[in-house]
Amino acid sequence: MVRPPKSRDLCLRCKGARNLCGKARCPILMKKSAIMPMKKILLKNEKEMQGASPPAFFVGRYGYPKVSVGPMIPPHEANLDENISLLDEPDDWFGRSVDEIINYRTNLIRSTFKIPHVKNILINNRLLDISQEIVMSGKPVDTEVSFIKAPRVARIELDSHSQPFGPLGRVEKVVLTENPRVEKIVEKTIGDTDFKASNAMVELYKEDQSITKIQRILSAGLLGIGKNRKLVPTRWSITATDDTISKNLIEKIKFFSEVDKYLLFQDKYLGNNFKILIIPREWRFENLEVWISSLWMQETGRKPIIMADYEPFKGRKTYASNVTGAYYAARLGVCEYLYKIKKQGAVIVFREVNEDYIIPLGVWVIRETVRSAMNKQPVIFENLNSALNYINNSDFRLPLKAWEKKSKLLKFIKRQKRLIDYFNIKKIK
């Protein structure tokens, strides 16, 4: 995972004024500012809240397999101008400012209750049943929530890269004041208790359900063989969805012919600078990423570290523990493009993160930026050296030699010359 090392001491020394973390704005002050409107609402100390769930649902991972779960709602008093659905639909957030996205996060109250074990979803639990009804809905659902105590704003972590969250409250009762509107494909897939979860996820994807929607349904324990169904922590369900769908696409991509040129796709968003190189070879994938800030390096005396994960044609058997969830999010965006053009290739995703990426907002940033890049016209090259020279002379701060030193895929391609490569060299000469 690419991010600067934590340092409470750095934050205490900085006090939000000196930007010692190297970021363009103080993340802690941004989170504090974003939560202030919600704090004013919570000052009323009310135990009853009413609002339309986008729909939104959260499953925590701490204490697993005992987990905290519950629906999320924005209170009516928030007077939101945005479409309520947008508050928990990252697939539609690309292009929005960091302030807008933080507001989406902090305007949702997390109503939570405990589930003793993630597999205890078939026991009689009215709170869970209603939460699952909310998850199934394709539209916002008017919801009333009674809390044991009035919700409170979670303590703001004293570090520069914890995610922003809205208020939290232990729920006593949840009531739906309208019937959820469930799409037929969702109802059918959830109702089929003989359908494997992986197959169900692919089926929903084929029917144009968003990644967020699929992830939410999986997280709520609504997919898979009946006896095997269980709640899945939200963070894990996001990666599982990206991984499952991209694997399904990869198995088809492997049968396509190779691209015949070197294609370079590019895009930037919220301090994330992507360059995606597709090489005329059989399917392989590598994700390289680095966090880089001149001010931070000057203050700490440290050099940027490139994180990398790679998979050969046969795929990988272990979790991409260096790049983590971002690996699978980027891979999905690439696979969607290759499947669309019915081609395969060896792919390297270069991601350079700078001080403008102020707060981690989730792997959707990676998925949607890669998707956006793949929808743009690529820069086309006849050979690998030309493509790499272009990257070296681009707006990347890190020199090419640093990327090359870390890349397994580049080393493999330069070492494994093919007959066609020799013909191409002669043509260039």
Residue ending a domain, among 182, 197, 213, is 182
Cα angle 64, 68, 72 (rounded to 5 degrees) comes to: 140
Contact 375, 333 (CB under 8 A): no
pTM of the model: 0.90
Q: If you search the block for the tokens 């303590």, which residue do you land on?
A: 155
- The whole-number pLDDT of residue 226 equals 93
CA–CA dist 256, 345 (Å, integer): 9
Task: Please tell me the total count of domains within the chain.
Answer: 2
What letter does residue 318 receive in the DSSP assignment? Answer: S
- The whole-number pLDDT of residue 35 equals 72
Residue 17 burial (10 A CB sphere; 0-12, 13-18, 19+):
exposed
State the 10-residue block means of pLDDT for the chain, 429 residues long.
56 59 73 70 80 95 95 74 85 94 89 94 89 97 94 61 75 96 97 97 98 98 96 96 99 98 98 98 98 69 89 97 97 99 99 90 96 98 97 96 97 79 50
CA–CA dist 30, 9 (Å, integer): 19
| Structural domain includes residue 421 | yes
Residue ending a domain, among 163, 182, 201, is 182
| Structural domain includes residue 229 | no
Please choose, from the candidates 239, 208, 204, 210, the residue with its C-alpha nearest in 3D space to the C-alpha of residue 222. 204
Cα angle 344, 348, 354 (rounded to 5 degrees) comes to: 145
Cis, bond preceding 55 (omega within 30 deg of 0): yes
| Structural domain includes residue 297 | yes
What letter does residue 426 receive in the DSSP assignment? Answer: H
CA–CA dist 378, 373 (Å, integer): 8
Q: Are residues 259 and 177 in the same domain?
A: no
- The whole-number pLDDT of residue 280 equals 97
- The whole-number pLDDT of residue 302 equals 74
pLDDT tens-digit map of 294-324: 666 666 667 889 999 999 999 999 999 999 9
Q: Are residues 162 and 270 in the same domain?
A: no
DSSP one-letter string for 55-87: S-EEE--TTTTSEEEEEEE--GGG---S-GGGG
Q: Are residues 261 and 396 in the same domain?
A: yes
Q: Are residues 419 and 271 in the same domain?
A: yes
| Structural domain includes residue 71 | yes
pLDDT tens-digit map of 397-420: 999 999 999 999 999 998 887 656
Residue ending a domain, among 182, 211, 240, is 182
Q: Are residues 178 and 256 in the same domain?
A: no
Give percent of the chain with pLDDT exceeding 90.
71
CA–CA dist 271, 371 (Å, integer): 16
What residues make up the domain containing 381?
A: 252-428
CA–CA dist 164, 123 (Å, integer): 33
- The whole-number pLDDT of residue 429 equals 45
| Structural domain includes residue 40 | yes
- The whole-number pLDDT of residue 158 equals 42
Q: Are residues 274 and 143 in the same domain?
A: no
Q: Are residues 58 and 157 in the same domain?
A: yes
| Structural domain includes residue 169 | yes
CA–CA dist 156, 27 (Å, integer): 10
Q: Are residues 155 and 60 in the same domain?
A: yes
CA–CA dist 186, 275 (Å, integer): 36
CA–CA dist 88, 418 (Å, integer): 48
Please provide residue 77's backbone torsions phi and psi, each rounded to the nearest 5 degrees: -65, -15
| Structural domain includes residue 36 | yes
- Tokens matching residue 167: 């208020």
Q: Are residues 35 and 178 in the same domain?
A: yes
| Structural domain includes residue 199 | no
What letter does residue 228 receive in the DSSP assignment? Answer: G
Please choose, from the candidates 282, 269, 337, 267, the residue with its C-alpha nearest in 3D space to the C-alpha of residue 313. 282
Q: Are residues 166 and 278 in the same domain?
A: no
Q: Are residues 177 and 286 in the same domain?
A: no
